[in-house]
Amino acid sequence: MTTPVRVVASNIIHRVIQGESLHTLLPSALDAAATVDRPLCQELVYGTLREWPLLAPLCQSYMKKPLRRKDSDIKTTICVGLYELSHLNTPAHAVVSETVNAARALGKSWAAGLVNGILRNHQRRSEPLSDSLSLAQCNAMPDWLFDQLVAQHGDRIDDIATAARSRPPMVLRVNNTQVTRDDYLGHLAETGIEAIPCSEQQAGITLAHGVDVMRLPGFLKGWVSVQDQSAQCVPQLLDPRPGERILDACAAPGGKACHLLEHEPALDELVACDISESRLTKVAESSQRLGLQIKTVVADARELPRNILSTPFDAILADVPCSATGVMRRNPDIKVLRRADDISGFAAQQLAILRGLWPALKPGGRLLYVTCSILQQENDDVVRLFGREQAVTTAPLELNSGLPTALGWQTLPRADGGDGLYFALLQKS
């Protein structure tokens, strides 16, 4: 028996608010909804979480007193309804009716009147939100994060906040070892999938609308992969060369490792390591689908095993764990779960990874440090601290989008463009 779609969405969001990771719980939690309802359920979950820092205080503003802790699922249900009213094309009367029914399905019929009243009051609202909410809340951003982004990125905050509230475009990376981009654009046109080439990436294609990957021509044959255009900058910056050995130190799920081999098939060896054995299987699956040879090793980049350290690499890719503040539109639970004091913990982990990888790099070799963060504490600050410990030279970088930093390059998230990624190229003396 399936559960009403708005109840499923509310339950998922409620679990995230309680501290669970959306990425971990979503695949199995969606099974509670009917198959036909799952796209709507996913839209409600992602959309509500992207707007949560705005919706939660907005919901509270309609109440005379806060709900009891045990009734926080009603608040979540109301926020789902507020999101659907404001952002989807569902008729308003249907949104109100179905959200009220969701409250009843949760076993809380007493809340039906409250839910109905708040949603109808929101429909009639005339005064601007800024009258009762902070600037950070109006931009659907946690106060601490909004303040840091304003301090670090100034007048770019509007674009960053807009991107964090947007659905990301679906971008493809053509496997040039099997098909050219022009030919693949032709295959897409024949299939009726509207697309344009990425102006910033030679192998990139942006779809007008997202589609199931199984609809993509030649997907199972390895013609194409899904990858954000900012992430497609890695081969350009690391510059893999024929005969080199390269280590991808935090490789899962494998998109960047595969792209390096697509860009330079004449590598002598590409080794992909990751601390998670289960996630590393995704690297093997992707490389097999794309027809690429990648050696996988389960290892912690902070403490590499001797068999990896024994033969140093020409180049290393370190796409390290981070706050993911540059990809909030893809990981909207960050707006709920991330805290200001988390950032120093990530920075310490990132510095430990650089320390662990450096012995695996040949003298004269290069290491590309990558985060999907737009916070300086995880980016330039980490590279600067590491440079005080080791004989490191940072090479100047330049991309078609983004801006230079003191030690690297930062792309910023754009609603119609790529994610926010940081790159620094470290060279070993």
pLDDT digits (tens, 9 = 90+) for 28-73: 999 999 999 999 999 999 999 999 999 999 999 999 888 999 999 9
What is the predicted pLDDT for the residue at 128? 67
- Based on the residue annotation, tell me whether 198 is a catalytic residue of this protein: no
Please give the average per-residue pLDDT across 178-200, as a whole number.
Answer: 97
Residue 88 has pLDDT above 70, yes or no: yes
- What are the distances in angstroms from CA 383 to CA 71, 206, 325, 343, 347? 46, 32, 18, 15, 10
Beta-strand (E) ranges in 86-243? 171-174, 195-197, 204-207, 224-226
> Which segments of the chain belong to CATH 3.30.70.1170?
171-226
Identity of the amino acid at 318: A
- What are the distances in angstroms from CA 251 to CA 44, 272, 294, 346, 391? 31, 5, 11, 17, 25
Residue 271 has pLDDT above 70, yes or no: yes
Domain 171-226 has CATH 3.40.50.300: no
> Which segments of the chain belong to CATH 1.10.940.10?
5-133
pLDDT tens for each residue of 119-151: 999 998 867 666 789 999 999 999 999 999 999
Please give the average per-residue pLDDT across 316-321, as a whole number.
Answer: 98
pLDDT tens for each residue of 208-238: 999 999 999 999 999 999 999 999 999 999 9
What is the predicted pLDDT for the residue at 132? 80
Query: Token pair for residue 140?
Result: 């659907």
CATH number belonging to domain 5-133: 1.10.940.10
What is the predicted pLDDT for the residue at 1? 64
Q: Give the strand pairing for 313-319 and 224-226.
A: unpaired
The chain-wide mean pLDDT, for the chain, equals: 96
What is the predicted pLDDT for the residue at 162? 98
Homologous superfamily assigned to 231-428: Vaccinia Virus protein VP39 (3.40.50.150)
- Which residue of the set 138, 233, 273, 372 is catalytic? 372
Query: Token pair for residue 89?
Result: 């094309």
